[in-house]
Structure 1
Amino acid sequence: MGRPVMIALIGVDGSGKTTQARALAARLREQGIRARYFENAGGRPLWNRLAQALGRADGTALFGRTVYPALEATVRAAAMARTVAVARLTGRVAVLDRWTWCQDVIMAARGDRGRRAVRAVYAVFPRPAVVCFLATSPGVAQWRVAARGIDTEELAHLRALDAAYRALPEFGSFVTLDGDGTPDEVAAALDAVVDAAVDAVAGPAPRRGVKKGPFLYRRR
């Protein structure tokens, strides 16, 4: 069985990657393309809730600066392994909410040790056909996180995450989209990007509502 088309959305917390990934998978299915959304998280909300229930500030405070990154990286690796296995078995277009770079970036932003080891282990995972970075201003991202009412993010941390993404050796190969746009604007730009990748495997399909406008940045 050939490799499925994998499309990854990455960006800081509050960039809209989860919302856009879910919506993209749904739009592809509406067009008759077999697609599935995959979340590839490290379990931070779960660990933070557990920590708070035990009277600690967050997962790092509960498990420590050495154990917590290893736990988070392991959970994310398990999620990504499941994603690859299911996508290959079903042959569906895989829309990825986060991928390997997200763990590297969050470890860089926190100053965790072990980044090199995690990158080496994560090298076993295939690179998606398309990687879209939702470039979102830290202030906008912070507002969105607060608006959803699940957790909070410090502005300094969001700035560190954004800087870490841009410092990745692979960053120049990502497609950068304007994450500050409205959901419809980001979705239109995203649809324009994924057309070629999906058509290469699934064959040309009509794209409804696709606008190739100023919100699609050039590949850098």
Structure 2
Amino acid sequence: MRRPVLIALVGVDGSGKTTQARALARRLTARGVPAAYFENAGGRPLWNRLARAVGRPDGVALFGRTCYPVVEAAVRAAAMARTLLWSWATGRTAVLDRWTYCQYVIMGARGDRGGRAVRAAYRIVPAPTVVCFLAVAPEVAQRRVLARGIDTEELTHLRALDAAYRALPEFGGFVVLPGDGDPDEVAAALDGVVAPLVAGQGATAGSSGPDAAATS
């Protein structure tokens, strides 16, 4: 069986990775390349809601500075395992919203201990076929987060996240795409990166066009 294509999108909150990942999975499927979107998050919104329900400000306050990264890393590991099992079982393309790198970055930006232990635990997780980093100015990312009306992000934190991504030892192997521009332009750039990876899997895999199908 041909090794499945794993396309990962990473970037700071507000970079557009979730929007672009969902749309990419739809476009690929519409072009005859069966693909699915997978969110590989650490559960922060859930933990924050749970924390506020019991009178705590956020998940870190709920679990404590030591336990929270463990919970977050474990939840992300479970999500990634689900993604890999699906892709290996079906041989289909998986579009990954976040991956291991996001855990390294968030822990580094928060100043958490245990980064080496998480890296060691995640060593068995295979690298994606390609990792696309959506580069967005922290100020733009902050405005997008606020516009969603779901949560907020401090500008200093977004800057720390951006710096942490760029400091990753793996960053040199990432494909850096400008995420500040029009979403259609970002999508076109992403299609250009992905097309060679899925060539031959669909009759029109390399063509561009609007989203026309639901994620499989």
Q: TM-score, normalised by structure 2?
A: 0.94
Q: Deviations over 1:41-92 (max 9, x none)?
A: 0000000000011111100011100000000000000000010001111111
- For the pair 1:179 / 2:174, whether they are aligned, the reply is no
Structure 1 spans left out of the alignment, 5+ residues: 211-220
Q: How does 1:49-88 map to 2 (within 5 A)?
A: 49-88=49-88
Determine which structure has greater relative contact order: mean sequence separation of CA pairs < 8 Å that are 6+ residues apart, divided by chain length: 2
* Change in CA separation of 1:197 and 1:79 when aligned onto 2, cut-off 3 Å: same
1:207 maps to which residue? 206
Within a 5 Å distance, the mapping from 1:15-34 to structure 2 comes to 15-34=15-34
Question: What is the match of residue 42 of structure 1?
Answer: 42
Instruction: Give the Cα separation in 1 of the matches to 2:124 and 2:207.
Output: 36
Moved more, 121-130 or 158-167: 121-130
SS of residue paired to 1:190 = helix
Query: Which amino acid in 1 is paired with 2:108?
Result: A
1:127-163 deviations in Å (ceiling 9; x for gaps): 1111000001000000000001111000000000000
The residue number in structure 2 matching 1:216 is: none
The residue aligned with 1:120 is: 120
Contact 1:6/1:129 (8 A) holds in 2: yes
Distance in 2 (CA, whole Å) between partners of 1:125 and 1:25 is: 22
Q: Does the alignment pair 1:9 with 2:26? A: no
Structure 2 Cα separation of the partners of residues 195 and 73 of structure 1: 32
1:161 paired with 2:143, answer no
Deviation of the 1:209 alpha carbon: 3.0
Kept in 1: contact 2:31–2:203 (CA 8 A): no
RMSD: 1.2
Aligned length: 209
Structure 1 equivalent of residue 212 of structure 2: none
Q: Deviations over 1:97-152 (max 9, x none)?
A: 00000000000000000000101111111111110000010000000000011110
Measure the CA separation in 2 of the matches of 1:158 and 1:208: 34
User: What is the TM-score with the length of structure 1 in the denominator?
Assistant: 0.92
Residue 165 (structure 2) pairs with residue 132 (structure 1): no
3-state secondary structure, aligned to 1:202: coil
How far did 1:202 drift? Answer: 1.9
Q: Give runs of ≥4 in structure 1 deviating > 6 Å.
A: none
User: Per-residue deviation at 1:203?
Assistant: 6.1
Structure 2 CA distance for aligned equivalents of residues 105 and 45 of structure 1: 17
CA shift for structure 1 position 182: 1.1
Name the aligned partner's letter for residue 101 of structure 1: Y
**In the alignment, is the contact (CA less than 8 A) between 1:2 and 1:88 conserved in 2?**
no
